[in-house]
Amino acid sequence: MGSTFARGTRRATAARKATGARKAVAAAMPPSTPLGHTAAALSERLRRLAAQIPRGSAVADIGTDHGRLPLGAVIDRDARRVVAVDLRADPLAVARRTLATAPAEVAARIELRQGDGLAPLAVDEVDAIVIAGMGAASIVAILEAHPDRVTPRVRLVLQPANEWALLRRWLADAGRTPVAEEIVWERDRPHLVIATDAGPWTWTDDDVDFGTSRAGEGYQRWLAQESARLEAIAVCSDATAAWRERVRAQWQRVSSASTPAGSTGSGAAAAARRGPRRGDR
Ligand SMILES: C[S@@+](CC[C@H](N)C(=O)[O-])C[C@H]1O[C@@H](n2cnc3c(N)ncnc32)[C@H](O)[C@@H]1O
Protein backbone atom coordinates (compact mmCIF):
# COMPACT_ATOMS: atom_id res chain seq x y z
CA MET A 1 0.00 0.00 0.00
CA GLY A 2 1.53 3.35 -0.97
CA SER A 3 0.81 6.75 0.53
CA THR A 4 -1.96 8.98 -0.85
CA PHE A 5 0.77 11.23 -2.29
CA ALA A 6 2.50 8.26 -4.01
CA ARG A 7 -0.82 7.01 -5.40
CA GLY A 8 -1.61 10.49 -6.67
CA THR A 9 1.80 10.75 -8.30
CA ARG A 10 1.36 7.36 -9.98
CA ARG A 11 -2.08 8.39 -11.22
CA ALA A 12 -0.68 11.66 -12.58
CA THR A 13 2.16 9.81 -14.34
CA ALA A 14 -0.28 7.32 -15.86
CA ALA A 15 -2.54 10.16 -17.01
CA ARG A 16 0.45 11.97 -18.56
CA LYS A 17 1.44 8.77 -20.41
CA ALA A 18 -2.12 8.27 -21.69
CA THR A 19 -2.31 11.87 -22.86
CA GLY A 20 1.10 11.47 -24.51
CA ALA A 21 -0.07 8.36 -26.34
CA ARG A 22 -3.26 10.11 -27.48
CA LYS A 23 -1.24 13.07 -28.72
CA ALA A 24 1.11 10.72 -30.60
CA VAL A 25 -1.86 9.06 -32.27
CA ALA A 26 -3.51 12.39 -33.03
CA ALA A 27 -0.28 13.78 -34.45
CA ALA A 28 0.02 10.74 -36.65
CA MET A 29 -3.47 11.10 -37.99
CA PRO A 30 -3.97 14.13 -40.19
CA PRO A 31 -6.44 13.14 -42.93
CA SER A 32 -3.70 13.05 -45.54
CA THR A 33 -1.76 10.25 -43.81
CA PRO A 34 -2.25 6.57 -44.62
CA LEU A 35 -4.07 6.22 -41.31
CA GLY A 36 -6.47 9.00 -42.20
CA HIS A 37 -7.05 7.20 -45.43
CA THR A 38 -7.62 3.89 -43.63
CA ALA A 39 -10.01 5.47 -41.15
CA ALA A 40 -12.00 6.96 -43.99
CA ALA A 41 -12.06 3.53 -45.62
CA LEU A 42 -13.79 1.95 -42.62
CA SER A 43 -17.23 0.85 -43.75
CA GLU A 44 -20.30 2.21 -42.00
CA ARG A 45 -20.90 -1.24 -40.46
CA LEU A 46 -17.38 -1.34 -38.97
CA ARG A 47 -17.60 2.28 -37.87
CA ARG A 48 -20.86 1.61 -36.01
CA LEU A 49 -19.34 -1.50 -34.41
CA ALA A 50 -16.28 0.44 -33.29
CA ALA A 51 -18.54 3.12 -31.81
CA GLN A 52 -19.76 0.60 -29.22
CA ILE A 53 -16.28 -0.12 -27.86
CA PRO A 54 -15.72 1.66 -24.53
CA ARG A 55 -13.07 4.38 -24.89
CA GLY A 56 -9.54 3.46 -23.86
CA SER A 57 -10.36 -0.21 -23.39
CA ALA A 58 -8.51 -3.42 -24.21
CA VAL A 59 -10.37 -5.11 -27.04
CA ALA A 60 -10.45 -8.50 -28.75
CA ASP A 61 -11.61 -8.71 -32.36
CA ILE A 62 -12.45 -12.35 -33.02
CA GLY A 63 -12.46 -13.28 -36.71
CA THR A 64 -10.61 -10.11 -37.61
CA ASP A 65 -9.99 -11.09 -41.26
CA HIS A 66 -8.86 -7.84 -42.99
CA GLY A 67 -7.93 -6.27 -39.62
CA ARG A 68 -9.73 -2.97 -40.21
CA LEU A 69 -11.90 -3.08 -37.08
CA PRO A 70 -8.79 -3.02 -34.82
CA LEU A 71 -7.64 0.16 -36.57
CA GLY A 72 -11.08 1.69 -36.02
CA ALA A 73 -10.90 0.69 -32.36
CA VAL A 74 -7.59 2.53 -31.89
CA ILE A 75 -8.37 5.51 -34.11
CA ASP A 76 -11.99 6.16 -33.14
CA ARG A 77 -12.06 4.78 -29.59
CA ASP A 78 -8.47 5.20 -28.41
CA ALA A 79 -8.31 1.48 -27.58
CA ARG A 80 -5.21 0.94 -25.48
CA ARG A 81 -4.74 -2.56 -26.91
CA VAL A 82 -6.41 -4.74 -29.50
CA VAL A 83 -5.91 -8.49 -29.78
CA ALA A 84 -6.98 -9.41 -33.31
CA VAL A 85 -7.68 -13.12 -33.65
CA ASP A 86 -8.35 -15.26 -36.67
CA LEU A 87 -8.58 -18.99 -37.14
CA ARG A 88 -6.64 -18.95 -40.37
CA ALA A 89 -3.24 -17.71 -41.48
CA ASP A 90 -4.43 -16.16 -44.77
CA PRO A 91 -6.73 -13.53 -43.21
CA LEU A 92 -4.03 -12.73 -40.67
CA ALA A 93 -1.61 -12.06 -43.54
CA VAL A 94 -4.17 -9.59 -44.94
CA ALA A 95 -4.56 -8.03 -41.48
CA ARG A 96 -0.77 -7.68 -41.27
CA ARG A 97 -0.81 -5.77 -44.54
CA THR A 98 -3.61 -3.54 -43.23
CA LEU A 99 -1.59 -2.76 -40.10
CA ALA A 100 1.39 -1.89 -42.26
CA THR A 101 -0.64 1.06 -43.63
CA ALA A 102 -1.00 2.55 -40.13
CA PRO A 103 1.52 4.70 -38.27
CA ALA A 104 3.76 2.70 -35.96
CA GLU A 105 2.15 4.25 -32.85
CA VAL A 106 -1.20 2.79 -33.85
CA ALA A 107 0.01 -0.57 -35.12
CA ALA A 108 1.98 -1.02 -31.87
CA ARG A 109 -1.29 -1.26 -29.96
CA ILE A 110 -2.56 -4.12 -32.13
CA GLU A 111 -1.44 -7.73 -31.78
CA LEU A 112 -2.39 -10.47 -34.24
CA ARG A 113 -2.94 -13.99 -32.92
CA GLN A 114 -3.95 -17.14 -34.76
CA GLY A 115 -6.42 -19.42 -32.99
CA ASP A 116 -9.96 -20.59 -32.45
CA GLY A 117 -12.41 -18.05 -31.04
CA LEU A 118 -11.54 -16.86 -27.54
CA ALA A 119 -8.87 -19.55 -26.96
CA PRO A 120 -5.92 -17.22 -27.74
CA LEU A 121 -7.08 -14.76 -25.03
CA ALA A 122 -5.97 -14.93 -21.42
CA VAL A 123 -8.66 -14.72 -18.75
CA ASP A 124 -9.41 -11.05 -17.93
CA GLU A 125 -7.20 -9.84 -20.77
CA VAL A 126 -9.79 -7.62 -22.45
CA ASP A 127 -12.68 -5.31 -21.57
CA ALA A 128 -14.60 -5.77 -24.81
CA ILE A 129 -15.03 -8.59 -27.30
CA VAL A 130 -16.07 -7.86 -30.89
CA ILE A 131 -17.32 -10.69 -33.11
CA ALA A 132 -18.64 -9.55 -36.47
CA GLY A 133 -19.57 -11.01 -39.81
CA MET A 134 -20.16 -14.58 -38.62
CA GLY A 135 -23.42 -16.48 -38.31
CA ALA A 136 -25.23 -16.23 -34.99
CA ALA A 137 -24.70 -19.93 -34.23
CA SER A 138 -20.94 -19.54 -34.73
CA ILE A 139 -20.86 -16.46 -32.48
CA VAL A 140 -22.77 -18.33 -29.76
CA ALA A 141 -20.47 -21.37 -30.12
CA ILE A 142 -17.41 -19.13 -29.73
CA LEU A 143 -18.82 -17.42 -26.63
CA GLU A 144 -19.97 -20.68 -25.04
CA ALA A 145 -16.63 -22.42 -25.60
CA HIS A 146 -14.83 -20.11 -23.11
CA PRO A 147 -17.21 -18.79 -20.43
CA ASP A 148 -14.18 -17.79 -18.34
CA ARG A 149 -13.34 -15.13 -20.98
CA VAL A 150 -16.91 -13.77 -21.11
CA THR A 151 -16.88 -12.34 -17.61
CA PRO A 152 -19.46 -9.81 -16.37
CA ARG A 153 -17.05 -6.90 -16.89
CA VAL A 154 -16.72 -7.67 -20.61
CA ARG A 155 -18.78 -5.75 -23.15
CA LEU A 156 -19.91 -7.85 -26.10
CA VAL A 157 -20.13 -6.03 -29.43
CA LEU A 158 -21.68 -8.37 -31.96
CA GLN A 159 -22.78 -8.32 -35.57
CA PRO A 160 -24.39 -11.61 -36.56
CA ALA A 161 -24.62 -12.30 -40.28
CA ASN A 162 -27.95 -14.14 -39.81
CA GLU A 163 -30.45 -15.42 -37.17
CA TRP A 164 -30.58 -12.22 -35.16
CA ALA A 165 -33.29 -13.56 -32.85
CA LEU A 166 -31.23 -16.63 -32.00
CA LEU A 167 -28.37 -14.42 -30.86
CA ARG A 168 -30.65 -12.10 -28.86
CA ARG A 169 -32.24 -15.15 -27.15
CA TRP A 170 -28.77 -16.35 -26.17
CA LEU A 171 -27.86 -12.91 -24.81
CA ALA A 172 -31.11 -12.90 -22.80
CA ASP A 173 -30.35 -16.34 -21.35
CA ALA A 174 -26.77 -15.26 -20.58
CA GLY A 175 -28.03 -12.39 -18.38
CA ARG A 176 -26.93 -9.61 -20.68
CA THR A 177 -28.32 -6.07 -20.80
CA PRO A 178 -28.52 -4.31 -24.17
CA VAL A 179 -26.63 -1.00 -24.20
CA ALA A 180 -27.06 -0.24 -27.89
CA GLU A 181 -28.67 -1.80 -30.89
CA GLU A 182 -29.15 -0.59 -34.44
CA ILE A 183 -29.62 -1.87 -37.94
CA VAL A 184 -26.97 -0.52 -40.29
CA TRP A 185 -27.59 -0.71 -44.04
CA GLU A 186 -24.68 -1.25 -46.34
CA ARG A 187 -24.86 -2.11 -50.02
CA ASP A 188 -28.62 -2.56 -49.63
CA ARG A 189 -28.21 -5.17 -46.91
CA PRO A 190 -29.19 -4.82 -43.23
CA HIS A 191 -26.61 -5.55 -40.54
CA LEU A 192 -27.53 -5.81 -36.88
CA VAL A 193 -25.07 -4.22 -34.47
CA ILE A 194 -25.76 -5.07 -30.84
CA ALA A 195 -23.73 -4.25 -27.73
CA THR A 196 -24.44 -5.71 -24.31
CA ASP A 197 -23.04 -5.51 -20.81
CA ALA A 198 -23.75 -7.93 -17.99
CA GLY A 199 -26.77 -6.90 -15.96
CA PRO A 200 -30.45 -7.36 -15.34
CA TRP A 201 -32.86 -6.86 -18.21
CA THR A 202 -36.23 -8.49 -18.75
CA TRP A 203 -36.18 -9.45 -22.40
CA THR A 204 -39.65 -9.55 -23.91
CA ASP A 205 -40.50 -11.62 -26.98
CA ASP A 206 -40.56 -8.37 -28.98
CA ASP A 207 -37.06 -7.52 -27.70
CA VAL A 208 -35.82 -10.87 -28.94
CA ASP A 209 -37.61 -10.88 -32.29
CA PHE A 210 -37.70 -7.18 -33.21
CA GLY A 211 -34.77 -5.87 -31.21
CA THR A 212 -34.42 -3.83 -28.07
CA SER A 213 -34.32 -0.45 -29.81
CA ARG A 214 -37.10 -0.74 -32.42
CA ALA A 215 -36.40 2.77 -33.70
CA GLY A 216 -34.45 4.55 -36.36
CA GLU A 217 -34.31 4.57 -40.14
CA GLY A 218 -32.44 1.28 -40.30
CA TYR A 219 -35.07 -0.49 -38.22
CA GLN A 220 -37.95 0.99 -40.21
CA ARG A 221 -36.37 -0.03 -43.46
CA TRP A 222 -35.79 -3.58 -42.19
CA LEU A 223 -39.37 -3.81 -40.93
CA ALA A 224 -40.67 -2.57 -44.29
CA GLN A 225 -38.64 -5.20 -46.06
CA GLU A 226 -39.77 -7.99 -43.73
CA SER A 227 -43.38 -6.85 -44.01
CA ALA A 228 -43.24 -6.80 -47.82
CA ARG A 229 -41.63 -10.24 -47.88
CA LEU A 230 -44.31 -11.76 -45.65
CA GLU A 231 -47.23 -10.04 -47.39
CA ALA A 232 -46.03 -11.55 -50.69
CA ILE A 233 -46.36 -15.11 -49.37
CA ALA A 234 -49.65 -16.66 -50.57
CA VAL A 235 -49.58 -19.94 -48.63
CA CYS A 236 -47.54 -20.28 -45.47
CA SER A 237 -47.08 -22.40 -42.36
CA ASP A 238 -48.79 -21.56 -39.06
CA ALA A 239 -45.45 -20.30 -37.72
CA THR A 240 -44.95 -17.93 -40.65
CA ALA A 241 -48.58 -16.74 -40.40
CA ALA A 242 -48.07 -16.02 -36.69
CA TRP A 243 -44.85 -14.13 -37.45
CA ARG A 244 -46.64 -12.15 -40.17
CA GLU A 245 -49.28 -11.07 -37.63
CA ARG A 246 -46.58 -9.85 -35.25
CA VAL A 247 -44.81 -7.99 -38.05
CA ARG A 248 -48.12 -6.37 -39.03
CA ALA A 249 -48.61 -5.21 -35.45
CA GLN A 250 -45.08 -3.75 -35.33
CA TRP A 251 -45.63 -2.12 -38.69
CA GLN A 252 -48.84 -0.50 -37.42
CA ARG A 253 -46.96 0.87 -34.42
CA VAL A 254 -44.14 2.30 -36.52
CA SER A 255 -46.46 3.70 -39.17
CA SER A 256 -48.75 5.43 -36.69
CA ALA A 257 -45.75 6.88 -34.85
CA SER A 258 -44.10 8.26 -37.99
CA THR A 259 -47.08 9.33 -40.14
CA PRO A 260 -48.83 12.52 -39.03
CA ALA A 261 -52.60 12.49 -39.68
CA GLY A 262 -53.43 13.66 -43.22
CA SER A 263 -49.89 13.24 -44.50
CA THR A 264 -48.68 10.67 -46.98
CA GLY A 265 -45.92 10.08 -44.49
CA SER A 266 -42.21 9.58 -44.46
CA GLY A 267 -40.05 7.17 -42.47
CA ALA A 268 -41.84 3.84 -42.36
CA ALA A 269 -44.16 4.71 -45.21
CA ALA A 270 -41.25 5.82 -47.37
CA ALA A 271 -39.39 2.66 -46.45
CA ALA A 272 -42.45 0.62 -47.45
CA ARG A 273 -42.62 2.42 -50.79
CA ARG A 274 -39.02 1.38 -51.46
CA GLY A 275 -40.39 -2.16 -51.59
CA PRO A 276 -39.00 -5.55 -50.64
CA ARG A 277 -35.32 -6.21 -50.22
CA ARG A 278 -33.48 -9.34 -49.22
CA GLY A 279 -32.98 -9.43 -45.47
CA ASP A 280 -32.10 -11.26 -42.34
CA ARG A 281 -33.59 -12.09 -39.06
C1 LIG B 1 -16.67 -12.99 -42.82
S2 LIG B 1 -15.17 -12.71 -42.00
C3 LIG B 1 -15.61 -11.33 -40.98
C4 LIG B 1 -14.48 -10.35 -40.90
C5 LIG B 1 -14.69 -9.16 -40.00
N6 LIG B 1 -14.93 -9.55 -38.62
C7 LIG B 1 -15.83 -8.31 -40.50
O8 LIG B 1 -16.88 -8.27 -39.85
O9 LIG B 1 -15.68 -7.64 -41.52
C10 LIG B 1 -15.07 -14.03 -40.83
C11 LIG B 1 -13.66 -14.30 -40.32
O12 LIG B 1 -13.76 -15.07 -39.14
C13 LIG B 1 -12.76 -16.06 -39.13
N14 LIG B 1 -13.22 -17.12 -38.24
C15 LIG B 1 -14.20 -18.02 -38.46
N16 LIG B 1 -14.35 -18.83 -37.39
C17 LIG B 1 -13.44 -18.42 -36.48
C18 LIG B 1 -13.09 -18.85 -35.16
N19 LIG B 1 -13.71 -19.87 -34.57
N20 LIG B 1 -12.11 -18.21 -34.51
C21 LIG B 1 -11.46 -17.17 -35.08
N22 LIG B 1 -11.74 -16.73 -36.32
C23 LIG B 1 -12.72 -17.33 -37.00
C24 LIG B 1 -12.61 -16.45 -40.59
O25 LIG B 1 -11.35 -17.02 -40.86
C26 LIG B 1 -12.80 -15.09 -41.30
O27 LIG B 1 -11.57 -14.44 -41.47
Predicted confidence (pLDDT) per residue in 141-167, tens digit? 999 999 999 999 999 999 999 999 999
**% of the chain surpassing 70 pLDDT:** 77
Identify the weakest region by mean pLDDT among 45-49, 229-233, 253-257, 266-270. Answer: 266-270
How much is the average pLDDT of 38-67? Answer: 91
Query: For residue 280, what is the DSSP state?
Result: -
**Which among 216, 197, 65 is positioned nearest to 133, based on CA atoms?**
65
Cβ of 62 below 6 Å from ligand 1: yes
Helix, strand and coil content of the chain, in percent to the nearest 5, comes to: 45, 20, 35
Q: Residue 278 pLDDT more than 80?
A: no
The residues, ordered by sequence, that sit 6+ positions from 202 with a Cβ below 8 Å of its Cβ are none
Cβ of 91 below 6 Å from ligand 1: yes
Q: Residue 3 pLDDT more than 80?
A: no
**Which among 229, 228, 230, 218 is positioned nearest to 192, based on CA atoms?**
218
**Confidence at residue 65, expressed as pLDDT on a 0 to 100 scale:** 96
- Residue 185: count other Cβ atoms within 10 Å of its Cβ: 16
CA distance 217 to 274: 13
- For ligand 1, mutation pick of 68, 71, 86 (most atoms within 8 Å of CB): 86
Cβ of 157 below 6 Å from ligand 1: no
Cβ of 44 below 6 Å from ligand 1: no
Q: Residue 35 pLDDT more than 70?
A: no
pLDDT band for 105, please (50, 70, 90 cuts).
very high
pLDDT band for 181, please (50, 70, 90 cuts).
very high
CA distance 277 to 249: 20
Q: From the CA of 12, how far away is ligand 1's center (Å)?
A: 40
The atom number, within ligand 1, closest to the CA of 142 reads 19
Q: Residue 26 pLDDT more than 90?
A: no
Contact (Cβ atoms closer than 8 angstroms) between residue 27 and residue 103: no
**Confidence at residue 259, expressed as pLDDT on a 0 to 100 scale:** 61
The residues, ordered by sequence, that sit 6+ positions from 237 with a Cβ below 8 Å of its Cβ are none
Cβ of 84 below 6 Å from ligand 1: no
Question: Which residues of the chain does CATH 3.40.50.150 include?
Answer: 31-213
For residues 12 and 187, which has the higher predicted lDDT (pLDDT)? Answer: 187
How much is the average pLDDT of 235-248? Answer: 96
Q: What is the pTM of this model?
A: 0.82
Specify the residue with its C-alpha closest to ligand 1, atom 24: 63
To the question of domain 31-213 being in CATH 3.40.50.11540, the answer is: no
